Structure 1
Amino acid sequence: MAGYFAIFLVLLTLASGLIWLLDARLFAPKRRQQVETALAAAGGKLPQETLDRLAQEPWLAETARSIFPIIAAITILRSFLFEPFQIPSGSMMPTLLVGDFILVQKFAYDVKDPVFRRTLYRNNQPQHGDIAVFKYPENPRLDYIKRIIGLPGDRVIYRDKQFYIQRACTEAHQGNCPGLEQVRYTFAADGEFTQQGLPQRRYQETLGEASYDILLTPALPEQKRDYYRQSGTAIDEWLVPEGHYFAVGDNRDNSRDSRFFGFVHEDLMVGKAVFIWMSFEFSDNPDRVLPRWIPVGIRFERLGRIR
């Protein structure tokens, strides 16, 4: 089931469209008939004020006629083309920061209806390295954003803060199945970010054709005791089931993701994050007078496509 706002938009679109249609087909002709009857009875001469009163459109019908095209356009845009999201946490740093406002391309993956989220049209599937928005498996009313690391059939290992992937063996491999590959990363910077007062290191990671930055906190150990346990595999190893995906945050030591809640079913996929259209900067100064939710600046340099 979709979120409450999506349901509200659909219901508002249907209600306003139905009211407008009923008025245009049933009540507007009656109003015109009243005007014609009154004119005939008065010999074709009536004050304009009287004519306006007889032909006056009820406020409900007038409102429905005014808002229906706008609401319908917003519903179609948001449901099938692009939907705006705000980044609420630092789990995707340094790629996405708190205060980033992004556009998610809904038709990048399977197209779903906006209420029951049933697939209407089979389209592309998520690929390695995509940043995807999906419904949180443990509470589908929440939207999560993570990077796709494992596809259906992939074997994923996270050991010593390093990912290893054995890609799914398909008929295209003609029996020569892929082996286990290290997802390599190279050092990029140090000291730009901190977590719990601990310095973080930025690395550039490459997965397939995707290249992006990640953050690691060397002083923090892996939380293996909290990992999602899959039957028949090691504690830090997962075999992605058919129709599911393995998604993780770029801020590897500060992200609740598939390592902890398991796999993301394809039906939960919302779309692919493609563009930052606004980025507000917030102050963490404890002595600040204004509330923390009020921005102190705009990060214009962050606007553009997401990789």
Structure 2
Amino acid sequence: MNLQSLLGNFALILFVLMIVTGVIWFLDVFFWSKQRRAKADAALAEFDARIAKLSGEGIKSDTNGRAALEASLLRQPIWIEYSGSFFPVIALVFFLRSFLYEPFKIPSSSMVPTLQVGDLILVNKYTYGIRLPIINKKIINVNNPQRGDVMVFKYPEDTSVDYIKRVVGVPGDKIVYKNKRLTVNGKEVSYKPLPDYLDDGNLTYYKQWQETLTGVEHNILTDERAPNFVPDPHQYPMRDLCSYNAEGFACTVPTGQYFMMGDNRDNSLDSRYWGFVPDENIVGKAFFVWMNLGNLKRIGSFH
């Protein structure tokens, strides 16, 4: 599933804004404010001298303008004032979304019924390790993705695009998907039939199952009208580790790579088509729906 963050290159935009406003804030605190203070002190000294001279000549002067003069000379230019005000806010947002949590919006149905179109989700950015923002390079290892996790990652064929799928294969796993049933390392995943699922968008019923993948229970959909085979798989890296036939496919997941599938199995463009997700493409683990404007009941955690 293709995910769109609120703005395509929001992380880069935030980074640039943080640097620009931060530099302005730094220059103002350590240089420009001192220059304004020195200029104000000189003007106030001149003001006081003039008042003292007039007083010596017996002329009474109004000193109320001193405070206004000082405030005027110390006042920050508008562009510096706004930069200084925005800098801590921008820095906080950049830190939160780069190292802790990042919001995304679900635009398509490939993770139905787990995630619905319009769900606004939060992604944990540190559970799979601390990564440098922008370049997404891991600097501290924490945990590795596990089977059953719902993970956001950079689409291997276009890393400017974020996708979300479920992890079904970790490095070294032998994945077999035959007749719409998943087998991992020779052990068939268990399936419990559930009532058919009605897709309100196209008024179509799909078969619904509770799939238990390495202890993680979640619901999936299958379309009995869709073929068992994978039509037109791409020529992706290490494709020789996968074989395709009329009943499905089999893949061995290479080191440092992950195999991803959508919960809406017959309506998901996933690893069956474009291959493996390298570790360096990982964004984080999705764990919470914080808003859906069309259905407030969607708010909450999910498997």
TM-score normalized with structure 2 length: 0.87
Q: How does 1:78-117 map to 2 (within 5 A)?
A: 78-117=97-136
The alpha carbon displacement at 1:198 in A equals 4.8
Whether 2:206 is the aligned partner of 1:190: answer no
Q: Tell me, what secondary structure is at the counterpart of 1:43?
A: helix
Structure 1 Cα separation of the partners of residues 241 and 47 of structure 2: 90
Equivalent position SS for 2:267: coil
SS in 2 for 1:53: helix
SS of corresponding position for 1:145:
strand
1:91-129: per-residue Cα shift (whole Å, max 9, x none)?
000000001111000011122111111112111110010
1:174 alignment counterpart: none
SS of structure 2 residue aligned to 1:31? helix
Larger Rg: 2
Alpha-carbon spacing, 1:233–1:139, altered in 2? closer, same or farther (3 Å)? closer
CA shift for structure 1 position 232 = 5.2
Q: Secondary structure at the match of 2:193?
A: strand
1:28 to 2:30 alignment: no
Q: Distance in 1 between matches of 2:283 and 2:275?
A: 17
Identity across aligned pairs (percent)?
39
Q: 2:227 aligns with which of 193, 196, 221?
A: 221
Q: Which runs of 5+ in 2 are unaligned?
A: 1-6, 50-62
Higher relative contact order (Cα pairs below 8 Å, separated by 6+ residues): 2
Partner AA of 2:95 in structure 1? I
Is 1:279 the counterpart of 2:302 in the alignment?
no
Q: Is the 8 A contact 1:131 1:273 kept in 2?
A: yes
Provide closer, same or farther for how the CA distance between residues 72 and 37 of structure 1 changes in structure 2, counting only shifts above 3 A. same
Change (3 A) 1:157 1:97: same
8 Å Cα contact 1:94-1:250 kept in structure 2: yes
Q: Distance in 1 between matches of 2:300 and 2:242?
A: 40
1:209 equivalent in structure 2: 215
2:68 maps to a residue whose letter is E
1:231 to 233, 240, 246: 240
What secondary structure does 2:177 align onto? strand
How far apart, in 1, do the equivalents of 2:242 and 2:87 lie?
54
**SS at structure 2 position matched to 1:225:** coil
Trace 1:1-307 onto structure 2 (pairs within 5 A).
4-43=9-48, 45=63, 46-166=65-185, 180-193=186-199, 198-228=204-234, 230-231=239-240, 233-235=242-244, 236-281=249-294, 299-307=295-303
Counterpart secondary structure, 2:116: coil
- What is the number of residues matched between the two proteins? 276
Change (3 A) 1:13 1:247: same
Give the C-alpha shift of residue 228 in structure 1. Answer: 4.9
- Are the equivalent residues in 2 in contact too, given 1:156–1:239 (CA < 8 A)? yes
- State TM-score, norm by structure 1: 0.85
C-alpha deviation, 1:194, in angstroms: 7.2
Question: For 1:280 and 1:251, how far apart are their aligned partners in 2?
Answer: 22
Distance 1:43 1:71, change over 3 A: same
Q: 1:290: which partner in 2?
A: none
Instruction: Point out where structure 1 has 5 or more consecutive residues left out of the alignment.
Output: 167-179, 282-298
- Cα distance 1:33–1:211, how it changes in 2: closer, same or farther (>3 A)? same
Cα distance in 2 for partners of 1:228, 1:152 equals: 21
Please tell me the residue identity of whatever aligns with 2:105: Q
Code of the residue aligned with 1:247 in structure 2: it is M
